[in-house]
Amino acid sequence: MIGNKLILVTPPDDIPSDGLRILLVGIQQDRTNLISSALTQLPSIPNTVLYMWHADNDINWLLDKKRKSHLIIFDVDNLPGEIVGYLAAQINSYYFGHIRELGIINNNSILDVGQCYELLENTITTYEKSVR
């Protein structure tokens, strides 16, 4: 293990270290700041890998990291509809923005830093229980 660190990984890289893996897809700067703020408010975090993908990156990298991630957070307003639909169908996905037609499939919208904090806290708790 690498000692309670956050590691940011972007295409085409990966990291073999164990830890909580969060995939951030198409996240705009203001929403990145919101996630960062929620992370800094947490009393502690396990070793965490933050994968960051944008629409101009390799789609195969995204698909691989989606499979490896415990949590997916994506930005509806910054992605093509096909990717939004694909990510919305994932059980571990949450999003910024509004999904009109797909809201019935996934209503896990993140509206503020409090919701983001709660989501991260719950994900960390679930992850830590699974590695005990």
Structural domains in the chain, sorted by start:
6-130 (3.40.50.2300)
Tokens 């037609």 identify what position? Answer: 101
Residues 20-60: tens digit of each pLDDT: 999 999 999 999 999 999 999 999 899 999 999 999 999 99
Distance CA 115, CA 18 (A): 26
Residues 2-23: tens digit of each pLDDT: 446 899 999 999 998 889 999 9
CB 24 within 8 Å of CB 32: yes
pLDDT at 66: 97
pTM across the whole model: 0.91
